[in-house]
Amino acid sequence: MNHVFRLFLLISVFFGLFSCAKELPLPDGPIDDPGANSYPAQLTFSVQEVIQGAFFEYDAWLNLPAGFELGVDQVDLVHLVNGNTNIVDELYDNGDLDLHHDEIKGDGVYTGRGSLTLETLGEHIFRVIATPVGAMEPVIVAEARIFVFTDVPSSALVSIEQVHNQSMGILEQHLISNPGDLDGGRTAMINWLANQKDVISADGYQGNAIELFHKSGLHSILVLSQVNAYGKAITKGGVSGNPGRPEVVRVPVEKQTRGLTLPIERMGLRDESDKDRIGNRKVLIYAPFDAAFGSEERLSTKQYFSDATCGGFTVDEYINQEATVDVVSTFHQYGTIHLTTHGTGGHSFLTGEVVDSNSTNYKEKYKALLKSGKLWVASNVVVKVNNQVEIKRSVYAITADYISGLPGKFPNTLLYNSSCESTKSDALEKAFLNRGVATYFGFSENVTVSYCEDIAHRIFKTIIDEGKSTGEVIVNTLDPYTGTPKIPATFQLRGSDKLMYSNTFINGGFEDGFYGWNKEGDGRYIAKLGMLNPPEGLYMGVISTGLGFTTATGSVYQTVNIPDSISKLSLWYNYLSEEFLEYIGSQYQDEFKIVLRESNGISHVLYARTIDQVAAEFGASGGNPGGLIEVSPNIQFDQGGVYMTGFHKLEFDISAYKGQCVTIIFACTDVGDSIYDTAILLDAITLK
């Protein structure tokens, strides 16, 4: 059935709840992350929290689900105020990057950029209203919310810093009178804090942090941690009864003896569901206290992925002050995340970003996040072996509410939260699991740096070297380095015990987005492009030389083991470019490549076509399109004048690689310049 006609039939039978606008029903099939409302499309703002009366800029995106078309390239963004609707902006799907900030025309993604000032505190509802082609009345397509908070007083951070510093003095005084009595010192701090006029509450956790709620409406944390005689942290937020293992000269990670990597024939041959597979091979190591911990935990984790025989992993690491709040907003892009930081109560973990009230981020973003409780101000109080106390500069702490509000969905992620008390309450673990993390590892109590490093070896040796599932990682063991009378941390698993890396080829039709795929540069999955629908299913992939704001050329790839039963690689592709026709025969030669790369790094080009080679195949020249099809203005990138080949099927013999681990790469490269764009549509990629 025609999609527009189908939409018209649906909206004609549903009752309106919004003025004269009708609601659209849910479409058949799943919608990624529909949120709290039941509207069929998804409206997303670049900001969710703002300060009352403050001017702010925003980006807004409307994503239509597969199977629906509005038939128009402009929709209204409206603000509900006292039951009335005010049009505040228009969102466009017309490919006009300069005026409307829309990257691709006709891809079902409507984009807008604007500015607002909201004066009323609380929740503000925004909706997208459209009148589809053939409909008599407008309909509500999507809904989103922005929350408004009072401003942060200029004195608020100063007050927090004063309270933190004075409480450190209370601890230091107690230790002078009672050497080594850290528990008593902590109790003295809590009792003192409870009587401060700027503090509403002070909640302590056994041997760990003190969480404060201030009259300014901000939350803060005092994280107590010990260091050894060498100045290195013993615990990751908390107090241990043990001075820790002595400092020794370590053998460099690259020279340590490692177990044999699992033979590739075992990888990917388990009887398993695709949903038990880690969603991609992007790895994030987030280590804001790498220098303070002084362990090999980060380096050893990185080495496991580097050494993997059938790997294809990319590892991003953010160390010390590089580990910012903004990096946390990208967590949903990674299949494996290793957090090695301070943590408190299962509620929060610390970043490496110093609180700076003069920074642009603080003024434009962090003030509202602090008032919403998504960010806290954290100070690390360090207790030295001589009972002296030092307080470090305040940094931001990430809370469970911040994680719950992250964009996108995690790709069946494995997450190791190597911080104190990361499973003491279920706040953080639930936030991560609800966002798409499949397996969450953590600790019940204060944990030593030494034990965290041991557990990192255990997890990644099991998952990477041995090719086993998360359920085969030994859990419920106690931290042996915790001294009496402290309660030792228990290493725990939450979520799936079946998750693993698998080297089987999956999701060749992009029906589950990029699940199973790794992406570099400009790669996307879309339901349509102008008048072009996927050859099979509801979605297709697209790689390009950099559409819209993206300038990086795109590639997608999977690392797989080729079973003995497989001999063919097949796919459908459509080559679209603005370089046709005027740049045929020039130095501007964008290229589509399919490459098979062996685990030893040797690459084999299965297919490669430049602009000139495609033109020759289709009989095109500078003034003659031949068999190429002009698709503009229905489809246009930033320059217009797009021609395409149409969808064609390719098939390759890969029987020579049976039993081998290979990475299959689909890439679109730019030669000459990045002005005129090329895009390759991909679908129905199969191994058979």
Sequence-ordered list of residues with C-beta below 8 angstroms from that of 678, at least 6 positions apart, any chain: 544, 545, 575, 576, 577, 578, 579, 590, 592, 611, 668, 670
Q: How confident is the model at residue 11 (pLDDT cuts 50, 70, 90)?
A: very low
Looking up tokens 């509000």, which residue turns up? 405
Q: What is the DSSP letter of 171?
A: H
pLDDT at 239 (0 to 100): 47
Lowest-confidence pick of 128-132, 135-139, 238-242: 238-242
The pLDDT of residue 218 is: 96
Cα torsion angle, 645, 646, 647, 648, sign: negative
* Structure-block tokens of residue 506: 């999956």
| pLDDT greater than 80 at residue 268 | no
Indicate whether 89 pLDDT > 50.
yes
What is the pLDDT of the chain when averaged over all its residues? 85
Does residue 439 surpass a pLDDT of 80?
yes
Task: Give the pLDDT band of residue 241 (cuts 50, 70, 90).
Answer: very low
Residues 202 and 134: their CA atoms lie apart, in Å, by: 61
Show Cβ contacts of residue 79 under 8 Å, excluding neighbours closer than 6 positions.
85, 86, 88, 124, 125, 126
The most confident of the ranges 248-262, 444-458, 548-562 is: 444-458
Identify the weakest region by mean pLDDT among 162-176, 220-234, 288-302, 418-432: 220-234
How many Cβ atoms are within 10 Å of 115's Cβ, its own excluded?
Answer: 10
pLDDT over threshold 50, residue 257: no
The CA distance from 93 to 102, in Å, is 6
- What pLDDT score was predicted for residue 484? 57
Kindly tell me if the per-residue pLDDT of 270 is higher than 60.
no
Q: What is the pLDDT of residue 281?
A: 94
In whole angstroms, what is the distance from residue 256 CA to residue 640 CA?
56
Q: Is the pLDDT of residue 250 over 80?
A: no
Residue 83 neighbours by CB under 8 Å, 6+ apart:
none
Q: What is the pLDDT of residues 453-503, one digit of tens each?
A: 999 999 999 999 999 999 999 999 999 998 655 789 999 999 999 999 988
Which DSSP state fits 618?
A: T
Name which residue leads in pLDDT, 14 or 673: 673
Give yes or no for a contact between 54 and 61, defined as CB atoms under 8 angstroms apart: no
pLDDT beyond 80 at 240: no
Assigned token pair, 504: 């089987």
Mean pLDDT of 436-440: 97
Q: What number of other Cβ atoms are within 10 A of residue 419's Cβ?
A: 28
Residue 37 has pLDDT above 60, yes or no: no
Contact call for residues 561 and 504 (beta carbons, < 8 A) = yes
Residues 364-368: what's their mean pLDDT? 95
Segment 262-287 shows an average pLDDT of 65
pLDDT tens digits for 149-198? 999 998 999 999 999 999 989 998 999 999 888 888 889 999 999 999 99
What does the alpha-carbon distance between residue 258 and residue 119 come to, in Å, rounded to a whole number?
61
16: pLDDT strictly greater than 70: no
Confidence check: pLDDT of 233 > 80: no
pTM here is 0.86
Can you read off the two tokens belonging to residue 424? 């003491």
For the segment 95-122, the average pLDDT, to the nearest whole number, is 91
CA atoms within 13 A on the CB side of 196: 22
pLDDT at residue 102 in the model: 87
Taking 70 as the threshold, does the pLDDT of residue 227 lie above it? yes
Highest mean pLDDT pick, 94-103, 270-279, 348-357: 348-357
* Pick from 448, 76, 467, 107: nearest CA to 264: 467
Percent of the chain with pLDDT strictly greater than 70: 85
What type of residue is 471? Answer: G
Q: Which amino acid is at 545?
A: T
Tell me: the pLDDT tens digits for 545-599?
Answer: 888 766 678 899 999 999 999 999 999 999 999 999 989 999 999 999 999 999 8
Of the pLDDT bands very low, low, confident and very high (cuts 50, 70, 90), residue 604 is very high
Residue 340 CA to residue 296 CA, distance in Å, equals 11
Report which secondary-structure segment, H or E, holds 368. helix 367-372
